[in-house]
Chains A and B, each alone.
Chain A
Amino acid sequence: MERVFTGPDSPSAPEGAVTNDASGAPLAIELRGIVKRFPGIVANDDVDFDLRPGEVHALLGENGAGKSTLMNIVAGLYRPDEGEMRVDGRPVRFRSPRDAIAAGLGMIHQHFALVPSQTVTENVLLGLDRPRFLLGLAKHDDAVAELAAGLGLKVDPRAKVWQLSVGEQQRVEILKMLYRGAHVLIMDEPTAVLAPQEIEELFRTLRAMIASGRSIVFISHKLAEVLAIADRITVMRRGRVTASGIGAAGTSKGELARLMVGREVLGAVERTAFRPGPVVLSMRDVQAENDKGLPALRGVSLDVRAGEILGIAGVAGNGQSELAQVVTGLRPFHGRIEIAGEVAEHRTARDAIRRGVAHVPEDRTGVGSAPNLSIADNLIMKAYREAPIAHGWVIDVSAARRMAENLKDEYSIAAPSIDTRARLLSGGNLQRLILAREIESKPRLLVAVQPTRGLDVGAIEAVHRLLMARREAGAATILISEDLDEILGLSDRVAVIYEGLILGTFDVAEADVQKIGLLMTGGTGGLPLKVGPVLPGVPGVPGA
């Protein structure tokens, strides 16, 4: 499923951009020989990088390649073990983020550096030298609003950050940096949380900033976007640079993929024909509140059948998390949920587990595992209540250990032993552990939320293979992901969630990225939607 980004300037470099620093203009950023080590790993291994003024330079690599670490050094959060850095031609040594900001470098992190309980203006002011003592917020509210308007960004300066959508929060981050006069912007995976249309909007904003004299580093692992927005591309793999500053015009997705991963990236996973069985999960008019007491699900209805993967597409914050929690018993709800034909009361996770619902949660380290318990203890989290692991109220330790050893081998969990603490596992291995545990419980329904977030390509492929295998075996799966490519690649049907409602459900063969993107941001554009299977009396669905 190819996605083509349309826009005035893609994919080649715009006319008039500075392409040759031999013309005398100093490089905005220059890194030479950067080395950064963490315990057990060399995150950056002799890395060179440069940013020319007025360009968009993409830093491409899979998760764990070292891109964020490198830019964190530029942003003053880490100090390099070796190597040197120049900004505008002058050597610099940043001791803290303050120094970097003072030098005109602004980084927008993947996890926004925003204090959720404070207002937009307070967040913009945080860390500035002026005002020195008295804040005088009212005056600054106006200044912030003015700056935002001037840049075409819509923000309410008095709103508290937790009330904003993810896209709005990102705008606040950009505003923060511009308020500080940043002339270099470093953006770390900015499109991970955006819908396709919002990505277009972001790219327009970025080009406007270039036009006004700034330079941008764009960190990403998404090939199509990088080719669409970047002038030059540097590719990193396992801490090393595999291609330095190559022109975007002169390369292709295939070549970039090879530079990123070191081999041909396998395309979509093999799928067999779609042979749906009986309905395993049925939701009717389900409503639920989020943690703030605001409505998160406002009447969700959907069906999932055995042997199918239903992908839920949507921008973060539209109810996906709550949907997963309601189905797995972690959140109270109103409405009707049936699992394999039986009405589920689902007051606790225990109910859901008893009914054969497995959950691969969003938060691997905080929810899906206990960091200080051993791998073995983590693996029995679902199985410890019954034989063969438990006899009455005693746990058969040797049976538990046998099970753990088997699963460790079967799912290739790389670790010194089953007694290793879970916190020491890499993201990919931890996910293998969680999947192993959930799949072993032979669930009727598997709910997988952001299962490949932050994983490297090898781990991503492993997860996809496991999900497809479950599908072959006749299990029903709900796949919730912010990565539209992943959803389109794995799902049999796709449902789009927006503001707590399912706006449309498509068979994947007929799915149109444009339409889905539009729904993800709430618009229907008058396009006729095919909603299937037919859901009786669903309120609020346009065109139903």
Chain B
Amino acid sequence: MRTGAYLRRLAVAGAGALLVPQLGAQTVAITGATVYPVSGPKIERGTVVIRDGRIAAVGAGVPIPAGAERIDATGRWVTPGLVHTGTDLGIRLLRTGGSRETREDSLAGDIKAAFNVADAIDPAALTLPVARLQGITSTLAVPSTGLIPGQGAFFDLAGERVADLVAKSPAVMVIDFSESAKASAGGSRGAVLQKLRRVFRDALEYDRRRDEFRRGQIQPLAAGAEDLEALRPVLRGELPVLAIANRRRDIEAALDLAQEFGLRLVVQGGAEAWQAAAQLARARVAVVVEPLTDVPRFDALAPRLDNATLLRAAGVMVALAQRDDAHFRNLRQAAGNAVRNGMTWEDALRAVTLGPAEVAGVADRYGSLEPGKVANLVVWSGDPFEFSSRAERVFIRGRQVPPVSRQTELLERYRTLPPAY
């Protein structure tokens, strides 16, 4: 009870910080920076003009509109805001001792296709300001646990109400093909596929015979009507499947199932994806790689740090992501390590901006600095992947977010001891 009240108070304080009115015009011109639009080559001494939450112009020698707020970014680097994939930002905090009170990302049961995490996001979640300080401006947040954990949603990491920050919902249907799904299916990888096939067939059946279903003139189906209904866009190839799979065999099983049922597929994890690179390239299936994964498990006995590099070399589209115990703050470290292990810097930048926007199906609005796109961008003191660099200014939907979090407040409180309370 007390913890809950405390968290709520903090949440209100966090929201308060966000409500600081944005001074100045709605038009902002960032000038003099090295601009990495991702959609095109880098621009030296470039200008980015933001108007009404969108990018209005990008280039060298772009005219600056009258009345625009000017930000001199000489010597700075400007990139699109980083996009993190497969996170629990906004839907989960504590892992133990209080996890129930701070966890919204998981339901009981095995088939939860109708569950959408967008309905669970808390715009005041304490993780969001922490991630923003590292230049992360949006995320594909996903549900967890079960064979079909549910629907993921893509949202911006700033906004007062859920409706203000969600950009695409649902963005993906999460389906688990890995070790962690086995228990939900009865204990074997074979049963995972068997159960998924039955659920998919029943979803098609339900779609064809919903009247009979309502009248009860149909055999019991493998999932509830709501969940079967939610699978409809998946089986029409409209809503992509984010397939959690690490073992080569599981990746191939997901590819086969996708072909059988006409699914659009993205692989999440893919620790052994480098072994299936040619098939993934042929099927045009993207992989969300965690580039720091190299410890063997029976789920994947052959992970390697240059997984992303090998996949790119085979022509596979890659997004980078990384789970970490600092609440998904270390995406740029993950990207830096991908470069350390052979990926080109440009590929790595794409894999934390436009790549994940493609995975979430929002590349028309996110992931690059192009006129008309949502103005999520970061002014960095230097190379965004280096620890020595800092996100100096972070813009989300055209507004600069205050560089504060609960942690910056703790720092200031304890910077000199004893603290002044």
Q: Is B truly associated with A?
A: no
- Chain A residues in the interface with B (C-beta under 8 A): none
